[in-house]
Amino acid sequence: MIDVSKDQFTIGVDFGTLSGRALVVRVSDGFEIASSEHVYADGVIESFLPGSSERLPFEWALQNPADYLSVFKVAVPKALELSGVDVNAVIGIGIDFTACTILPTLRDGTPLCQLPEYRNRPHAWVKLWKHHAAQAQADRVNALAHARNEPWINRYGGKVSSEWTFPKALQMLEEDAEVFHAAERIIEGADWVVWQLCGVETRNTCTAGYKEIHQDGTYPSAEYLAALHPDFPAILEKLGHTLSPLGSRAGDLTPQAAAWTGLPAGIAVAVGNVDAHVALPAAGVTGTGQIVAIMGTSTCHILNGSSLESVPGMCGVVDGGVVPGLYGYEAGQSGVGDIFGWFVKNGVPAEYATRAAQQGVSLHAILEMDAATQRPGEHGLLALDWHNGNRSVLVDTELSGLMIGMTLQTTAPDIYRALIEATAFGARVIVDNFDSHGVPVRELVIAGGLQKNKMLMQIYADVTGRPLSIVDSDQGPALGSAIHAAVAAGAYDSIVEAASAMGKIKQHVYTPISSHQEIYADLFAEYQTLHDYFGRGANDVMKRLKRIRSSQALVKP
């Protein structure tokens, strides 16, 4: 039993795709006292708006901002109750968020979807990070940037994703101009929830740099935006022009937010951050050479570099984007855990569910148990991990999944392992891409729930040829947010100092097995062939199939 009576604590709140998690952390050493999770009531809104019978278009993914406030009202008080700490010993709260997740609001922060006149208008709701319906707008954003030689386009690997702010906002303008013009603010979820906590509107440098094309102190020019649409320069007034550095204090917890959370009014509220980026301090990673992969429904890959490099297909590079004094690089995979979850839900015979129930374990555990007995390449399968599009390095949400090599002898564990291997191959593409463009990677550091899958971790070490270290926390992003809160509260002078004291890592838990590497090298060569054939324009069948699907969805009775 620890003595919580003489210590100070911070709260880290991690807003994920399906739920929010609150974590109580000791400031002196990062010890995690207690946590609580709250599942969003509306989850991911992909079919119908709440209370509506009108079907949403293909590739839409929305959320309800009321779900985010419920995390403060449910998860934070529960975590505090479980911790047993004196709330007066809590000195700060920090949050991280999925990104790019944006919402249109009034000047006072009221979401448009909460106003009766806009409740049934899809563009008035939160656009979740995996809202991919703005691909056509992203294509135009990119084509015009290259045609005009915009200096910022290479900071994003030559392509801005449809997941980012400007394509999503342009889609809003072109499909519902009334909502676009009614929006006095278009704001990241990270900044909006911080606004609700402290009553002060802030914009953090991380989301602005990576998701809102804010480079060298400015957004894209009004002239460029007008060339996309005459009314689009209006977005510049809807975005924040004063950015707050990471680890700084956004404001003080308001009495209203104190009532929600059970925390004392007036404690520090840290500037918001992205879930992936804030996980680096949680691992104590504040230098170069270590790529941190935050693995969940999707994976974000974040690393620091000492110099500014142009890396094709990366999601972005921002000066001080993770820690001051270094360039923070980002890449990612749009589907990882989501792919495994999809297969378990839709592709596994009932006999495996029966075994899982008999043994009191999850269906994932049964599939892992069987698949782990195989040697690399034994199942004869190869997959492309594009079920939710490709974020890096192709930056194309219109791509889709592929499985090759199936026979009448193929089993569910075979497919499960092949899908895991596909995501490992996708990660290697990212790692090799950074390594060959002047941003060296010597080690992978894994955060997130998938680190519990030992087979998956060994496969990643074997495929990438690099040792895997593990963030010694089940709540890496929440721990990182608690670290930022400690800096914002003044307990530490910098993120680097706080990460050194509070970050936790298990070094080289998995190392490559040479005999496995040889087989995976052959399989990866085949993966690259498929990757380039279907992903670089030789055969656009995936895109043609999506267009056919979309056209039929429009006429479905």
d(CA 128, CA 322): 22
> For residue 167, what is the enclosing H or E element?
helix 165-175
The reply to whether 258 and 358 lie within a common domain is no
Mean pLDDT of the residues in the chain: 95
pLDDT given at position 557: 47
Q: Pairing mode, if any, of strands 19-26 and 32-39?
A: antiparallel
d(CA 353, CA 367): 10
Residue 45 lies in a domain: yes
The reply to whether 408 and 462 lie within a common domain is yes
pLDDT given at position 121: 97
The reply to whether 243 and 319 lie within a common domain is no
d(CA 361, CA 167): 42
The reply to whether 155 and 210 lie within a common domain is yes
- Taking CA atoms, 134 is separated from 127, 165, 361, 457, 460, in Å, by 10, 10, 40, 34, 32
d(CA 202, CA 333): 28
What is this structure's pTM? Answer: 0.89
3-state secondary structure 173-220: HHHCHHHHHHCCEEEEHHHHHHHHHHCCCCEEHHHHHHHCCCECCECC
Domain boundary pick from 271, 301, 318? 271
Quick check: 329 and 290 in contact, CB under 8 A? Answer: no
- Closest residue by Cα to residue 340 from 417, 398, 409, 446: 417
- Closest residue by Cα to residue 386 from 370, 376, 397, 372: 397
Per DSSP, the residues of 212-260 read S--BTTBPSPHHHHHHH-TTGGGGGGTS-SSEEPTTSEEEE--HHHHHH
Dig out the tokens for 225 from the structure.
Answer: 């935006």
Domains contained in the chain, number: 2
pLDDT given at position 324: 86
The reply to whether 289 and 266 lie within a common domain is no
The reply to whether 210 and 299 lie within a common domain is no
Helix-strand-coil split of the chain, %, nearest 5: 40, 20, 40
d(CA 448, CA 167): 28
The reply to whether 241 and 374 lie within a common domain is no
Tens of pLDDT, residues 149-158: 999 999 999 9
Say which CATH number the domain at 154 has: 3.30.420.40
What are the strands, taking DSSP E only, across 385-429? 402-404
Q: Pairing mode, if any, of strands 382-384 and 402-404?
A: antiparallel
In angstroms, how far is CA 65 from the centroid of its own chain?
A: 17
Residue 400 lies in a domain: yes
Peptide bond into 300 cis (omega under 30): no
The reply to whether 364 and 422 lie within a common domain is yes
What are the strands, taking DSSP E only, across 298-367? 299-305, 316-319, 327-333
d(CA 166, CA 153): 13
d(CA 521, CA 338): 26
d(CA 124, CA 110): 11
- Which residue is it, tokens 């520090």? 268
Quick check: 127 and 101 in contact, CB under 8 A? Answer: yes
Domain boundary pick from 271, 300, 326? 271
Which residues of the chain are modeled with pLDDT < 50? 1-2, 4, 557
pLDDT given at position 240: 83
Tens of pLDDT, residues 99-132: 999 999 999 999 999 999 999 999 999 999 999 9
Residue 473 lies in a domain: yes
Domain boundary pick from 247, 271, 295? 271
The reply to whether 92 and 235 lie within a common domain is yes
DSSP state of 158: T
Crossing angle between the packed helical segments 514-535 and 454-464, to the nearest 10 degrees? 80
3-state secondary structure 18-58: CEEEEEEEECCCCCEEEEEEEECCCCCECCECCCCCCECCC
Handedness of CA 475, 481, 486, 489 (dihedral sign): negative
Structural domain span for residue 262: 9-271
d(CA 499, CA 249): 17
Quick check: 299 and 506 in contact, CB under 8 A? Answer: no
Residue 1 lies in a domain: no
Residue 335 lies in a domain: yes
The answer for residues whose C-beta is within 8 angstroms of residue 90's C-beta and 6 or more apart is: 8, 9, 10, 11, 24, 80, 263, 264, 267
Q: Does residue 290 sit in helix, strand or coil?
A: strand
Residue 121 lies in a domain: yes
- Closest residue by Cα to residue 332 from 156, 109, 552: 156
Dig out the tokens for 110 from the structure.
Answer: 């009221």
Q: 392: exposed, middle or buried (C-beta count within 10 Å: 0-12, 13-18, 19+)? A: buried
pLDDT given at position 553: 67
Residue 133 lies in a domain: yes
Handedness of CA 499, 500, 503, 506 (dihedral sign): positive
Residue 366 lies in a domain: yes
The reply to whether 75 and 156 lie within a common domain is yes
Dig out the tokens for 83 from the structure.
Answer: 């911790």
Dig out the tokens for 117 from the structure.
Answer: 């006149």
d(CA 87, CA 259): 12
The reply to whether 252 and 300 lie within a common domain is no
pLDDT given at position 448: 86
d(CA 247, CA 492): 10
The reply to whether 300 and 338 lie within a common domain is yes
